[in-house]
């Protein structure tokens, strides 16, 4: 399917080959050539030209003043001064004055230059020839001949052993660079399957940092919890909380539709992963009447009274539930880790 198969008559006739009135005296659509230049007021009236000059000079002068204003603002306004400016409201005096003066200083240089170009510089349109980009056949022939000479002198085509080993060496050497990238990070292994939760770990209220007790969790409330022992100043706090964050709500046990959910709950207190199974945003919008939670990022909606199944949005599967109970001190505790990986799905999730 090359161009050679296309007959020339499919291509339109090119119009006009050179600038200026050329072809077909009888053709009403023939190119009449460049129109005559229409002089501007500045071209014929010296006073108008002088006015333009003064306008341009005024803009450049105002720009200088604006730059002085910029430096003055920098010196005068303290960095934390807030002022009220209508209609922008309460703004930083420094940011506002620096931005306006800098903006003016720059804008006026531009406006002056453009006004100068438009009113005082020649606006006579001129035509320049284009030249074919493709090389002439002679040039092409010379280049091909030169290349053939060079290729022959290199003996690359004749001495195949050199050629093949060179290609081999060049193909292999980038592997070193690839190998060097290996330590960018560890292998996934089972990391995405495990969280800090384990049998006997107490649920810590993220607001009070105290262990949660069943009586703290009332119907209609939403509580966020993390495993005991995880400290905010731990070096891996962010990575751990990204998997372990929990949502705790209480539903009347009779209102829990999913049998497993009821079994894994403690007196209607259920613990679900807070990390959305879509792409991992923390879910935070809870509708207490319907027991729906909504992820504010992509609006996946889960029904917490029915095994946290997806009822709307792009998430692909239910939120994992954590099995909980009460320990001897009367605090809520986990009865194990999540049974499935939390957060977004991945190839090895299965």
Partner 1 sequence: MSTATETQRKAPAGERVADWADGRLGIYGLAKANMRKIFPDHWSFMLGEICLYSFIIIILTGVYLTLFFHPSMNEVVYHGSYEPMQGIRMSEAYASTLDISFDVRGGLLVRQIHHWAAVIFLAGMFVHMFRVFFTGAYRKPREINWLFGFLLFVLGMFTGFTGYSLPDDLLSGTGVRFTQGAILSMPIVGTYISMFLFGGEFPGTDIIARFYSIHILLLPGIMLGLVVGHLILVFFHKHTQFAGPGKTNKNVVGMPLLPVYMAKAGGFFFLVFGFISVIAAIATINPIWALGPYRPDQVSTGAQPDWYMGFAEGFVRVMPGWEINLWGHTLVLGVLIPLVLFGVVLAALALYPFIESWITGDKREHHILDRPRNAPTRTGLGVAWVTIYFVMLIGGGNDIWATHFHMSLNAISWFVRIAFFVGPVLAFVVTRRICLGLQRRDKEKVLHGRESGTIKRLPHGEFVEIHEPLSPEQLHTLTAHEQYKPIEIGPTVDENGVERKPSALQKLRARLSKSYYGENNQIAKPTAEEYKEITSGHGHH
Stretch that binds partner 1, among 120-128, 142-150, 263-271, 327-335 (CB under 8 A): 120-128
CB of 152 to partner 1, least distance (A): 31
Are 256 and 270 spatial neighbours (Cβ–Cβ below 8 Å)? yes
CB of 326 to partner 1, least distance (A): 24
Phi, psi of 129 (to 5 degrees): -80, 150
Element (H, E) at 139: helix 137-154
Candidate list 248, 269, 308, 315; residue touching partner 1; CB under 8 A = 315
Candidate list 48, 297, 326, 335; residue touching partner 1; CB under 8 A = 297
> By C-beta, is 101 or 256 nearer to partner 1?
101
CA-to-CA separations, 33 to 12, 13, 177, in angstroms, rounded: 21, 19, 61
> By C-beta, is 92 or 331 nearer to partner 1?
92
Within positions 60 to 119, which residues make up the interface with partner 1, using CB under 8 A?
74, 79-80, 88, 91-92, 94-100, 102-114, 116-118
CB of 311 to partner 1, least distance (A): 10
**By CB under 8 A, residue 11 contacts partner 1:** yes
Candidate list 146, 252, 287, 348; residue touching partner 1; CB under 8 A = 348
> By C-beta, is 256 or 291 nearer to partner 1?
291
- Write the interaction track for partner 1 spanning residues 215-254; mark x where CB under 8 A is met and - where it is not: ---------x-x-----xx-x--xx-xxx-x---------
Stretch that binds partner 1, among 171-179, 185-193, 207-215, 329-337 (CB under 8 A): 185-193
CB of 97 to partner 1, least distance (A): 8
> By C-beta, is 250 or 278 nearer to partner 1?
278
- Enumerate residues 6+ apart whose C-beta is below 8 A from 99: none
Nearest to 249 by CA among 211, 304, 190: 304
> By C-beta, is 163 or 317 nearer to partner 1?
317
For 195-246, the DSSP string reads -S--TTPBEEETTT-SB--GGG--TT-EEEEEETT--TTSTTHHHHHHHH-E
Here the tokens at position 155 are: 């003996």
**By CB under 8 A, residue 136 contacts partner 1:** no
Question: Could you tell me the end-to-end alpha-carbon distance of the chain, in angstroms, rounded to an integer?
Answer: 46
**Residues that contact partner 1, how many (by CB under 8 A):** 116
Phi, psi of 74 (to 5 degrees): -60, -40
Burial of 271 (C-beta count, 10 Å sphere; 0-12/13-18/19+): buried
**By CB under 8 A, residue 37 contacts partner 1:** no
CB of 274 to partner 1, least distance (A): 6
**By CB under 8 A, residue 29 contacts partner 1:** yes
CB of 111 to partner 1, least distance (A): 7
Are 120 and 52 spatial neighbours (Cβ–Cβ below 8 Å)? yes
CB of 243 to partner 1, least distance (A): 8
**By CB under 8 A, residue 138 contacts partner 1:** no
For 174-209, the DSSP string reads HHHHHHHGGGGS---TTGGG--S--TTPBEEETTT-
Candidate list 282, 286, 306, 325; residue touching partner 1; CB under 8 A = 282
For 282-338, the DSSP string reads BP-EEETTTTEEE-TTT--EEETTTTTEEEESS--SPPPEEPEEE-TTS-EEESSS-
Element (H, E) at 21: none
Candidate list 150, 229, 316, 330; residue touching partner 1; CB under 8 A = 316
Nearest to 49 by CA among 131, 150, 119: 119
């Amino acid at each position: 399917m090359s161009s050679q198969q296309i007959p020339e008559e499919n291509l339109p006739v090119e119009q006009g080959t050179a600038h200026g009135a050329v072809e077909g005296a009888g053709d009403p659509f023939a190119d009449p050539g460049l129109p005559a230049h229409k002089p501007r007021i500045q071209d014929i009236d010296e006073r108008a030209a002088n006015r333009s000059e003064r306008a341009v000079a005024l803009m450049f002068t105002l720009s200088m003043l604006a730059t002085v204003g910029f430096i003055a603002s920098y010196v005068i306004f303290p960095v934390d001064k807030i002022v009220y400016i209508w209609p922008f409201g309460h703004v930083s005096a420094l940011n506002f004055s620096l931005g306006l003066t800098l903006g003016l200083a720059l804008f006026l240089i531009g406006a002056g230059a453009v006004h100068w170009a438009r009113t005082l510089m020649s606006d006579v349109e001129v035509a320049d020839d284009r030249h074919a980009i493709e090389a002439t056949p002679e040039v092409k022939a010379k280049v091909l001949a030169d290349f053939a000479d060079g290729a022959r002198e290199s003996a690359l085509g004749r001495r195949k052993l050199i050629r093949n080993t060179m290609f081999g060496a060049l193909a292999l050497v980038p592997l070193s660079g690839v190998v060097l990238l290996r330590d960018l990070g560890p292998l996934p292994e089972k990391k995405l399957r495990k969280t800090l939760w384990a049998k006997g770990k107490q649920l810590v209220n993220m607001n009070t940092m105290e262990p949660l007790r069943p009586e703290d969790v009332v119907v209609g409330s939403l509580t966020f919890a993390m495993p005991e022992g995880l400290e905010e100043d731990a070096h891996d706090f962010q990575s751990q909380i990204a998997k372990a964050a929990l949502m705790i709500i209480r539903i009347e046990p009779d209102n829990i539709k999913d049998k497993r959910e009821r079994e894994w709950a403690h007196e209607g207190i259920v613990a679900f992963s807070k990390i959305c199974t879509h792409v991992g945003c923390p879910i935070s919008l809870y509708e207490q009447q319907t027991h729906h939670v909504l992820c504010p990022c992509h609006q996946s909606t889960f029904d917490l009274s029915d095994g946290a199944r997806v009822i709307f949005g792009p998430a692909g599967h239910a939120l994992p539930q954590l099995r909980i109970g009460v320990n001897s001190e009367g605090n809520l505790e986990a009865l194990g880790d999540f049974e499935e990986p939390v957060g977004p799905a991945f190839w090895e999730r299965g």
